[in-house]
Chain A
Amino acid sequence: MAECEEEVLVQRVVKDITNALKRNPSIDEIGVIPCPEARYNRSPIVLVENKLGVESWCVKFLLPYVHNKLLLYRQRKHWLDREALVDITCTVLLLNPDFTTAWNVRKELVQSGVLNPEKDLYLGQLALTKFPKSPETWIHRRWVLQQVLGQSSAGDRRRRQQQRDEADAERSQQLSEHLARTLHQEMKVCSDAACRYPSNYNAWSHRIWVLQHMARGNIKVFYDELSSMRLWVSMHVSDHSGFHYRQFLLKELVSELSQSTASSTSSPQHRSSSVSSSSPVPFHNHANGELSGGEGGEDEEERQLSFITVLQLFHQEMELISDLIQSFPGHETLWSHRRHVFFLWHQWRTDQQLSNDGGDSTLLSDREAGLHKGGAQGCAAQVGEGVNGQCPSEAMEVEGASLPDPRDSKRLKRGVHLPAPPSLPSEYTFISSVLDSCCPSEQRRFALSYRKWLDTVIVQQP
């Protein structure tokens, strides 16, 4: 008798879940309600304020049953039609999203055109509200996104073939809008999961993947991300994964800007498959250097702009970290972020020096003027760079530097105030100021080990 009853119960629950999702497309969270006993004649599926709840007592019947059914189907011992498959995988995955087989069944359904990929993105999003780390869900998500991207690039190709189609432009517009929406939605899913589970590496690395695949080279998107992450990291000062994402953004931005210094004529063509900035109001004018690039005379100005933007990025990042370290003492995450940013800066500077050797002396001396600032603050440490022939007045000029408005390119001539970039002396000064203040023992330890790192990794290296 028990088996038969169970079967009826399970079928009913699967149906209830499916119907609830169908009838209410704005469900935005799932959860299990602790409830050890069944209350008779009441469905264990509860819907309150767009939240779907499953009473805990039924899970122990439900999960093994649907599991088995799906496995039997996979072993070809039991036939299920497509609709039943969609419903059953949906139930299984909401309760156990790391069941790879179920996601694989859905992959087949997507490929055969039965299932809309958007539906799967939604299902994954729901599952992540209860299991924010679930690796299989994130993996499946990337697969689905690739399908979506594949579809849109196929659309691109078709479009090129039928050049004369009049509705063409409109459709491509729709397409890029659709991609922008998907991108935005992914960012939302990621930050939601990151808030639900601290140091959610899976969510943050997914976010990186999304940017790499859907917004490659789009400086505007990267800028927006960097500025929206500012508040987030300030409120999650021990979230290593969040800071790692910030490091990724910084690195991409710096390398993108340096590329445009090297060759400011990057073709916008190869970016067509990624989301183009929908509103052409870039953060800084030079943020989309490719628009004005390649016009010979403006090259030089372009390079200076990019150069100053990089300095500004590093300057602002260092200011942010210093502020956070002083406001929230004793978090190792902040110190390792500082370490990473300084290393990035150090690397970039070395690269610039190599590529600029003998070439452009303007940028070089500008940078050295910036370094002077740190030197002026005084610390015995030697900067691994020959500073010569700089008159002190220029260093003083930088000393009281106010950030230039990069939008006003007319003012950008040699000798204009530059944002103070990080430097070894200023790092040592910061460390001693931390050590001098009465700080918790952990903060002391982190400061000392940062100093040791600077001594061994940066100073030793020529």
Chain B
Amino acid sequence: MKLYSLSILHKGATKANLLKAAYDLSSFSFFQRSSVQEFMTFTSALIVERTSQGSRASVKEQEYLCHVYVRNDSLGAVVIADNEYPQRVCFTLLDKVLDEFSRQVDSIDWPSGSPETINYKALDIHLSKYQNPREADAMTKVQAELDETKIILHNTMESLLERGEKLDDLVAKSEHLGNQSKAFYKTARKQNSCCEIM
């Protein structure tokens, strides 16, 4: 049961703009962490871009689940968790974080802000507190507030893409990803297709 990343983004006309993010990558091997982090940012942005205002969704990708909530005012948040972590608690966390963020940060800054300019520091605390869903006191009380049937489920990242779009192309074009991460992505793809020593 693990939360890997929690990020807040603003959904613009075509792109999502990252405002703040927190990561817990301690369970990944040391030399992969920077790439994994870039991929989580890339994925979070992509998911917010493909989610319409006022909706919630959960996207499954391998052993990860990305939960997203984009509010009607275009402010969105994504949490990436493993598939043991209770979905309901994730959405509680998203609600809470967005609520707090919009109270502390003026909406004028949302479209153009960046992690360096935005002054909101609570994300790391929330991420570490929610690692144990029971200590986050969210297990029972919010149950009724959330209509789980309204959450859209995607079984892969691919189902977010439009016709003719390919994940490989998006990765290659992405500005969130450095060269090392792109190489990392390629080897990971190769590993899935055939057995190699590496």
**Measured CA separation A328–B183 after assembly (Å):** 37
The residues in A between 304 and 335 inclusive whose CB is less than 8 angstroms from any CB of B are 327-328, 331
Interface string of B132-151 (1 = CB under 8 A from A): 11100001000000000000
Smallest distance from the beta carbon of B183 to chain A beta carbons, Å?
Answer: 4
In the complex, the answer to whether A34 meets B187 with C-beta atoms within 8 Å is yes
In the complex, the answer to whether B197 meets A328 with C-beta atoms within 8 Å is no
Smallest distance from the beta carbon of B9 to chain A beta carbons, Å?
Answer: 27
Given contacts A236-B84, A238-B84, A327-B139, contact A195 B27 (CB under 8 A): yes
In the complex, the answer to whether A29 meets B197 with C-beta atoms within 8 Å is no
Tell whether B54 is near chain A: CB-to-CB under 8 Å: no
Tell whether B32 is near chain A: CB-to-CB under 8 Å: yes
Set of chain B residues within 8 Å of A35, measured between Cβ atoms: 180, 183
Given contacts A31-B29, A96-B197, A327-B139, contact A235 B1 (CB under 8 A): yes
Tell whether A38 is near chain B: CB-to-CB under 8 Å: no
Tell whether A51 is near chain B: CB-to-CB under 8 Å: yes
**Measured CA separation A34–B190 after assembly (Å):** 13
Smallest distance from the beta carbon of A238 to chain B beta carbons, Å?
Answer: 5
In the complex, the answer to whether A36 meets B183 with C-beta atoms within 8 Å is yes
Q: What is the interface size of chain B, counting residues whose CB is below 8 A from a CB of the partner?
A: 21
In the complex, the answer to whether B139 meets A34 with C-beta atoms within 8 Å is no
Pick the residue among A32, A60, A238 that contacts B31 (CB under 8 A).
Answer: A32
In the complex, the answer to whether B86 meets A59 with C-beta atoms within 8 Å is no
In the complex, the answer to whether B86 meets A328 with C-beta atoms within 8 Å is yes
Set of chain A residues within 8 Å of B139, measured between Cβ atoms: 327
Smallest distance from the beta carbon of B184 to chain A beta carbons, Å?
Answer: 4
In the complex, the answer to whether B31 meets A328 with C-beta atoms within 8 Å is no
**Measured CA separation A327–B84 after assembly (Å):** 12
In the complex, the answer to whether B187 meets A56 with C-beta atoms within 8 Å is yes
**Measured CA separation A29–B33 after assembly (Å):** 13
Tell whether B35 is near chain A: CB-to-CB under 8 Å: yes
In the complex, the answer to whether B134 meets A31 with C-beta atoms within 8 Å is no
In the complex, the answer to whether B27 meets A196 with C-beta atoms within 8 Å is yes
Given contacts A32-B31, A236-B1, contact A327 B183 (CB under 8 A): no
In the complex, the answer to whether B198 meets A32 with C-beta atoms within 8 Å is yes
**Measured CA separation A95–B196 after assembly (Å):** 13
**Measured CA separation A33–B132 after assembly (Å):** 31
The residues in B between 37 and 56 inclusive whose CB is less than 8 angstroms from any CB of A are none
Per DSSP, chain A at the interface is mixed
Smallest distance from the beta carbon of A138 to chain B beta carbons, Å?
Answer: 19
In the complex, the answer to whether A29 meets B30 with C-beta atoms within 8 Å is yes
Set of chain A residues within 8 Å of B83, measured between Cβ atoms: 238
Tell whether A424 is near chain B: CB-to-CB under 8 Å: no
**Measured CA separation A36–B186 after assembly (Å):** 10
**Measured CA separation A369–B134 after assembly (Å):** 34
The residues in A between 35 and 57 inclusive whose CB is less than 8 angstroms from any CB of B are 35-36, 48-49, 51, 53, 56
Smallest distance from the beta carbon of B84 to chain A beta carbons, Å?
Answer: 5
In the complex, the answer to whether A33 meets B84 with C-beta atoms within 8 Å is no
B181 (CB) vs chain A CBs: closest residue: A34
In the complex, the answer to whether A29 meets B84 with C-beta atoms within 8 Å is no
Smallest distance from the beta carbon of A28 to chain B beta carbons, Å?
Answer: 9
Tell whether A21 is near chain B: CB-to-CB under 8 Å: no
**Measured CA separation A328–B133 after assembly (Å):** 10
Tell whether A115 is near chain B: CB-to-CB under 8 Å: no
Smallest distance from the beta carbon of B63 to chain A beta carbons, Å?
Answer: 8
Smallest distance from the beta carbon of B139 to chain A beta carbons, Å?
Answer: 6
Tell whether A451 is near chain B: CB-to-CB under 8 Å: no
**Measured CA separation A452–B187 after assembly (Å):** 47
Pick the residue among B31, B63, B84, B197 that contacts A31 (CB under 8 A).
Answer: B31
**Measured CA separation A63–B198 after assembly (Å):** 10
Most buried by B among A196, A328, A331: A328
In the complex, the answer to whether B31 meets A53 with C-beta atoms within 8 Å is yes
Smallest distance from the beta carbon of A237 to chain B beta carbons, Å?
Answer: 6
In the complex, the answer to whether A327 meets B197 with C-beta atoms within 8 Å is no
Set of chain B residues within 8 Å of A95, measured between Cβ atoms: 197
**Measured CA separation A96–B197 after assembly (Å):** 8
In the complex, the answer to whether B132 meets A56 with C-beta atoms within 8 Å is no
Given contacts A34-B183, A34-B187, contact A48 B30 (CB under 8 A): yes
Given contacts A29-B30, A129-B29, A235-B132, contact A331 B197 (CB under 8 A): no
**Measured CA separation A51–B27 after assembly (Å):** 14
A51 (CB) vs chain B CBs: closest residue: B30
**Measured CA separation A35–B182 after assembly (Å):** 10
**Measured CA separation A331–B1 after assembly (Å):** 12
9 residue pairs bridging A and B, Cβ less than 8 Å apart = A33-B180, A35-B183, A48-B30, A51-B30, A51-B31, A129-B29, A235-B132, A328-B86, A331-B84
Cβ-closest 6 pairs across A and B: A31-B31, A34-B184, A51-B30, A34-B183, A31-B29, A53-B31
Interface residues of A (CB under 8 A from B): 29, 31-36, 48-49, 51, 53, 56, 59-60, 63, 95-96, 129-130, 195-196, 198, 234-238, 327-328, 331
